[in-house]
Amino acid sequence: MRKLTKRSQLLLYGCSGIGVNLLNTIIGTYLCSALLTGGFVNNVESWTYLNKDLVIASVWAVMLVVAKIVDGVIDLPMSSLTDNLRTRWGRRRPALMIGWIPMIIAYLLFLVPLNAGVSLLNTVWFALILCIFYAFYTLTMVTYYATFAEVVDNESDRVYLSSVKSVCDVIYFCIGFALIPLFVNLGSNIRIVALMFLPLACTMFIPLFLLKEEPSNLQTDHTERVRPVNLFKSIAHCVKNKDFLIWMLVHGIVFNIGMTLFLSGINEFFSTAGLPMTPIMACSFGPVPFTIILYNKVVKKKGVGFAYRYILITFAAAMALMTFANFLPDSAKMAVGIVSALIASFSIGAFFSVGYTVPAHIAAESNKKSGIMTSSMIFAVQGLFEGVSAGVASGILLTYIKDHDGHLAETGNWFETVRLAGYIPAAVAFFCILACILTVFVPKSISRLGIQNDDKTTKQED
């Protein structure tokens, strides 16, 4: 594959996932929640499909976990497909389209309930369509992320590409968590809003024009320098990578449970807390292009390990402060909410960046040392871990919160003034602190990643 050497090319390439990731955010954060009215206080008719429950809550909770597990498990054969695909057009570009088209169809079908009330049929229907959406979303994005280890040939460009991708993620998060709530609160139903942003998925066409691949169905010395292997050998190679497994424990499981819980339950939290989502989320994401610069400076001086602990502690502090805002009078809530959002801005963009930088680094090193093509499998196994942890967060924890939201979180004293959904940020803070503690096990090869002096030394040795 031809390398992208110009920063302008890397900038454009990093924007490719905006639309597809936005669709995933809409379906996971808004549309799944819109099937149940629990947790909503204001504008229920706009936030839900038909202003009524459409699925059986207890069964839907199980189905969500199953969908997330299927999402994670199917990552493995999908990644093997993109690594081993042999066509005259290469392997990555055809895989992108094989994933993109069914994903769009599934997204549209998820907007259509089979009947207008609570039923097992609706519950199974939405779970099935969700599994299909996740499967082909995975194929699309795993293929895209795998190219991060292939389109650049040095660590500096890889970090730059990951940083560009993280800023682009902030853009789609601004759309998802600031602009979408604005449209809904103005009276547009969430399904109409979901259709409005569908055309942005066409940003995934960018790699089709920038990627220059040799035909993967030709057996040449050049194309076989890093050889593809079958599914089981590829999986085995990944799970034997100790550094990767430790990173998955910290980031893919513990941290991801907290972050998914917050993102999946964000509209319930703001509705319960009586805080306006649009201005607070704007304060969270607005400063990110500047805070990501600070994060990159920390990485260059101290490495990814130190920088990761810094953003975990910062985000935990922001979540704790946001929980505290629940107990304040309405006149003070807004100010405290904005302060907590500004604190969170120092972490949000960095979370995206580290989520691409570390696995891309592990994949590139693995390809180089073993000669085995595992670029997409690394991201697929990461997706498996994240899928299971996301299922725990959104399928079990959030559904329990929504189903019991009418009950008091505690009895007695000042706790009784806050509904259960108001404690979501506190749970997120707990998982961030736990992940921070577990970073002591992260190996030096990851902790020191990005340190400028180390990069210079490595170049001299090469």
Predicted pLDDT of residue 459: 44
Q: What share of the chain is helix, strand, coil (3-state, %, to 5)?
A: 75, 0, 20
DSSP structural state of residue 408: B
CATH superfamily to which 7-213+229-457 belongs: MFS general substrate transporter like domains (1.20.1250.20)
Predicted pLDDT of residue 181: 87
SS3 call for 65: helix
Predicted pLDDT of residue 188: 93
Please give the angle made by the CA atoms of 145, 102 and 218, to the nearest 5 degrees.
55
Predicted pLDDT of residue 429: 94
Task: List residues bridging with 419 in a β-sheet.
Answer: 408
What's the rounded Cα separation, in Å, for the pair 348 and 188? 28
Q: For the chain, which residues make up each domain, given as ranges?
A: 7-213+229-457
Residue type at 353?
S
Task: Name residue, tokens 């800023």.
Answer: 167
What's the rounded Cα separation, in Å, for the pair 145 and 270? 32
Predicted pLDDT of residue 434: 95
Predicted pLDDT of residue 462: 45
What's the rounded Cα separation, in Å, for the pair 395 and 403? 12
Predicted pLDDT of residue 460: 42
Report how far Cα 247 is from the mean position of its chain's Cα atoms: 16
- Radius of gyration (C-alpha) of the chain in whole angstroms: 22
pLDDT in tens, the chain (462 residues): 678 878 888 888 888 989 999 999 999 889 998 999 887 777 889 999 999 999 998 899 888 888 877 777 777 788 777 777 777 777 788 889 999 999 999 999 999 999 988 999 999 999 999 999 998 998 898 888 888 777 887 777 777 787 788 778 778 878 887 789 889 988 999 999 999 999 999 999 999 888 877 765 555 444 445 555 566 777 777 778 888 889 999 998 899 999 888 887 887 788 778 888 778 888 887 787 788 888 888 888 888 899 999 999 999 999 999 989 888 887 888 899 999 999 998 888 788 778 778 887 887 777 777 776 666 777 778 877 887 888 788 878 887 877 776 554 444 444 444 577 888 899 999 999 999 999 999 988 888 888 876 544 444 444
Predicted pLDDT of residue 408: 46
Exposed/middle/buried for residue 300 (C-beta within 10 Å: 0-12, 13-18, 19+): middle
Other residues' Cβ atoms within 10 Å of the Cβ of residue 417: 12
Helix residue ranges per DSSP H, 116-255: 120-146, 155-174, 180-185, 190-196, 206-210, 231-239, 242-247
Structure pTM? 0.68
